Amino acid sequence: MSSHAAPPRFERPVSILPEDIDGLGHVNNVVYLRWAQDLATAHWESAATAEQQATLAWVALRHEIDYKHPALLGDAVLASTWVGTADAIRFERFVEILRAPDRKLLAAVRTLWCPISRRTGRVTRVDDAVRSVFSTGSDV
C-alpha cells in the first residue's frame, strides 16, 4: 500500500429530481451510480489539462456500492470523491454520497477505472502527470 498523505477530496452538490425517486419513496439505487460517474467526470474535467482530456477517456471496470441510508426528495445531498491506488491500467476511485447538513453517509462507492486512448479506443498507460493527480500511488 502507498504511504502517501490522504488525497484531497473533490465535492459537488447533487440535485434529487422527482424522477430519481423509486416506488419506495427514496432515491433509486441506479441514481447513486449516475452521481458517482458524473462526479468522477467532473473531477477529471476540473483537474486534467486540455491535452490530457483530448487524449484520454475513462471506462468503468467495476463498481461496488454500499447503501447506508436513503436519500429522499427534498434532501440536500453532497457527493465527495477522492482517488485511491492504481496499477498499470486500473485506477481506484472512492465516492461518498452524503446528506449535506450533517454529512451523514448515505452511500459509499468504490470504482475501478481504466484509461482509454481516444485515438485508438484501446487501453493505454498514463504518464506520471496523470498518475500523480489521479492516484495515490501503486498497489502493485
Tens of pLDDT along 47-98?
999 999 999 999 999 999 999 999 999 999 999 999 999 998 999 999 999 9
Determine the pLDDT at residue 3: 47
90 C-beta neighbours (distance < 10 Å), count? 17
Determine the pLDDT at residue 140: 46
Determine the pLDDT at residue 1: 41
* pTM for this model (two decimals): 0.90
Measure the CA dihedral 105/67/72/112, to 10°. 80
Determine the pLDDT at residue 139: 61
What's the CATH fold of domain 10-134? Thiol Ester Dehydrase; Chain A (3.10.129)
pLDDT category of residue 5 using cuts at 50, 70 and 90: low
Determine the pLDDT at residue 138: 72
Q: Domain spans of the chain?
A: 10-134
pLDDT tens digit sequence for 11-41: 999 999 999 999 999 999 999 999 999 999 9
Q: Is the pLDDT of residue 10 over 90?
A: yes
Grid cell digits, residue 134? 489521479
Determine the pLDDT at residue 88: 86
Determine the pLDDT at residue 2: 42
Measure the CA dihedral 130/133/139/140, to 10°. 20
Q: List the beta bridge partners of residue 104.
A: 99
